[in-house]
Structure 1
Amino acid sequence: MSADVTGGVAAGGRTRSPLRAGVVGLGWAGQQHMDAYALRPDVELVAIAGLEDEPRVRLGELYGLPGSGLFRGYDEMIAQADLDVISVATPTALHAPVALAALAAGVHVLSEKPLAEDAERGAAMVEAARSADRVLDVSFNHRRRGDVKALKKLVDDGALGEIYYAKAGWLRRSGIPGLGTWFTRKALAGGGPLMDIGVHMLDMALHLMGEPAAQAVSASTYAKFGPRGRGGSVDRPTVAPGADGTVPFEVEDLSTAFVRLSGGATLLLEASWASYIKADELYVVLYGSEGGAVLGTPGVWNQSRLDVLTEMHGVPAELFPVLGPDGRHGEAVDDFLAKVLAPDWSGFHGEDALTRALVVDAAYRSAEEQREIRLD
């Protein structure tokens, strides 16, 4: 593999710039990837794919794509669009099929989270990326928050000392994303809030802690709202309840997991789509030998905030670091492209995302079997 100084990358035996990008999925997440590619001078968004006719045509017009750049199916787009990179923003069960087809064609892949509906499919994606020697990345956009980036720098610089315990969670008062839709079908989504939003918190916690290896998981899951048609998100479509008042709901609506990590550290993780709490929460709390940190603001779930608890000259102190901007999907795309343009793709084959999938799988297995699951 070779890269020229203008940003072109060897793909299919050629070196070129701009890179040719395609996006599968026409929803909100897919549009974030389209925006990010369109803003890059060294990337040309040349194709989008999705089954919905009206959004496909409208987005094609918005991004200046000719009819030849609009596809219903991902397979024909991969075969015809001559891509270098592709983003996958589809229901979870389609992540693996799209990624495997793209990698087999020599195309680098950026997938929305989670990696796949289970670790077995995720492992197949990682193996395909290694075999093809192409980048496989997952858009964990929340680790690009300003507070996460600031806290990561503090941890890496040793300001908190040894991180021996962490708590992380994303809890909603009412926010099941589409009662009865693919989000609540196990075969399509792989799981409920642990798979959907909990994996973000798992990623943030492991990222901040320095990627300790998960050794064992003990978890419980509950479904107290969804099966009764309660807890739906007001801005997502909902399938009407049947005569018995229920809707298709095959996953959990709350999960909690205790994860034992290498070096003796532990992580308490929780995620819910619906629960009787005062307000939505998104938080990470780190306990360190030289200091602690609280990320997030209870009651204002998406507001960046970071409190650092420490001592100064023997006096307890609380610091409020100045935070940079949130990078979100745009920064995730930029990070993916930086990997594509790197001189060596080893280590960029989706290994980190697979570690998250293994923990999630172990958590669901632990909840089902009501015992701790070891990962070593």
Structure 2
Amino acid sequence: MSAPRQEGAPLRAGVVGLGWAGQQHMDAYTARPDVDLVAIAGLEDEPRARLGDLYGLSDAGLFRGYEEMIAQADLDVISVATPTALHAPVALAALAAGVHVLSEKPLAEDAERGAAMVEAARSADRVLDVSFNHRRRGDVKALKKLVESGALGEIYYAKAGWLRRSGIPGLGTWFTRKSLAGGGPLMDIGVHMLDMALHLMGEPAAEAVSASTYAKFGPLGRGGSVDRPTVAAGEDGTVPFEVEDLSTAFVRLSGGATLLLEASWASYIKSDELYVVLYGSEGGAVLGSSGSWSESRLEVHTELHGVPAELFPALGPDGRHGEAVDDFLAKVLAPDWSDFHGEDALTRARVVDAAYRSAEEQREIRLDRPTRQA
């Protein structure tokens, strides 16, 4: 177990994973005066040494494995930025040691493993959080305020999607192996859109899911990102590809609302796009851009004094990973952790699981509403 920290002492943070996402967490921790980044872990020797120099870590703060880091670094908080199949092993080890956990999305490779993480957080009474950084976009935050104000009325239908023209993140790498990633774009980028939609709609419970998945590009070695590595094709001209490259799901929500969700790594579209569309009884909203996944943009369609009106709200800055880390630390510093055991992230995992099962069995899957433990 981590040693009790003296009041006012900085939190001791560690990061598992040396890639881009892990470095976002390292940057966020080092930007905080009340946090000391004391350890990083990863198997790659050169990046580990380089990042150790960059963040001013001694050799004692550099680890190949997460087990040694958790056992030796006396951590208060840990970020998990590894391939998806390692989220649960790292989180379970950290929670057992009394360390609060912030994981990259998704929670785990399936809901069963995610549920084990949530139960471990409850048992240890430690924070378990997931870095859904895209809900910290400026357009998402502005739209959330509008919804909460009642300006759009009852949100009864939503559409959300993230589509790429050619963006499979590493053909033949861990991203495209089901045992390591859990799934394809629905698990990778679709879960961001699911999180954003449920967050904006006020967290309605998912009651049923009907979905389909397709793999038309990846098995042929097509659709890969130009900036990501590709495993060489075999003699038959194919590369290892065990997941979908496009998914679509229709989700029935509590209160009668519905959500149409789509995600793709590769498809013949004009350009990449990310969007959320909300249909409300008093107004509608379109978030995102049809020409860019990264451009914050928000339109609101309503009436003012009986006259149709199109509004373009002013947007604040994107918070991204830094804000996700800040929100996690705010939970850690709260006096009560009973509401922060990862239940919201588990709801997303259950919807994704149901979508994959629906696609496999070609039928609608009903979800049992989980009971919240005290």
Identity of aligned residues (%): 91
TM-superposed CA distance for 1:216, in Å, is 0.1
Q: What does the per-residue CA deviation read over 1:97-128, in whole Å, with 9 as the maximum and x for residues that have no partner?
A: 00000000000000000000000000000000
Does the 8 Å contact 1:176/1:253 carry over to 2? yes
Does the 8 Å contact 2:42/2:48 carry over to 1? yes
Distance 1:118 1:16 in 2: 38
The runs of at least 4 consecutive aligned structure 1 residues that moved more than 6 Å come to none
Does the 8 Å contact 2:133/2:324 carry over to 1? yes
Distance 1:327 1:238 in 2: 31
Distance 2:7 2:43 in 1: 32
Distance 1:248 1:16 in 2: 51
Distance 1:281 1:83 in 2: 39
Does the 8 Å contact 2:2/2:98 carry over to 1? no
Q: What does the per-residue CA deviation read over 1:73-117, in whole Å, with 9 as the maximum and x for residues that have no partner?
A: 000000000000000000000000000000000000000000000
Distance 2:7 2:233 in 1: 55
Tell me, which stretches of 5 or more residues in structure 2 are unaligned?
369-374
TM-superposed CA distance for 1:349, in Å, is 0.2
Q: What does the per-residue CA deviation read over 1:155-189, in whole Å, with 9 as the maximum and x for residues that have no partner?
A: 00100000000000000000000000000000000
TM-superposed CA distance for 1:15, in Å, is 4.2
TM-score, with normalisation over the residues of structure 1? 0.96
Greater Cα offset, 139-148 or 299-308: 299-308
Does the 8 Å contact 1:2/1:343 carry over to 2? no
SS in 1 for 2:289: coil
TM-superposed CA distance for 1:2, in Å, is 15
Is 2:131 the counterpart of 1:135?
A: no
Q: Partner of 1:334 in structure 2?
A: 326
TM-superposed CA distance for 1:17, in Å, is 1.6
Distance 1:143 1:44 in 2: 26
Q: What does the per-residue CA deviation read over 1:13-35, in whole Å, with 9 as the maximum and x for residues that have no partner?
A: x5452000000000000000000
Does the 8 Å contact 1:229/1:247 carry over to 2? yes
Is 2:2 the counterpart of 1:2?
A: yes
Q: How many residues matched?
A: 366
TM-superposed CA distance for 1:247, in Å, is 0.1
Distance 2:367 2:134 in 1: 26
SS in 1 for 2:7: strand
Greater Cα offset, 106-115 or 295-304: 295-304
SS in 2 for 1:168: strand
TM-superposed CA distance for 1:301, in Å, is 1.7
Distance 1:375 1:16 in 2: 44
Tell me, which stretches of 5 or more residues in structure 1 are unaligned?
4-13
Distance 1:318 1:344 in 2: 43
Q: What does the per-residue CA deviation read over 1:125-160, in whole Å, with 9 as the maximum and x for residues that have no partner?
A: 000000000000000000000000000000001000
Does the 8 Å contact 1:86/1:107 carry over to 2? yes
Distance 2:153 2:2 in 1: 40
Distance 1:302 1:207 in 2: 19
Distance 1:2 1:74 in 2: 15
TM-superposed CA distance for 1:299, in Å, is 1.1
Q: What does the per-residue CA deviation read over 1:199-247, in whole Å, with 9 as the maximum and x for residues that have no partner?
A: 0000000000000000000000000000000000001000011111100
Distance 2:305 2:344 in 1: 39
SS in 1 for 2:186: helix
Does the 8 Å contact 1:2/1:15 carry over to 2? no
Is 2:367 the counterpart of 1:367?
A: no
Does the 8 Å contact 2:274/2:294 carry over to 1? yes
Greater Cα offset, 235-244 or 30-39: 235-244
Distance 2:296 2:304 in 1: 25
RMSD: 1.4
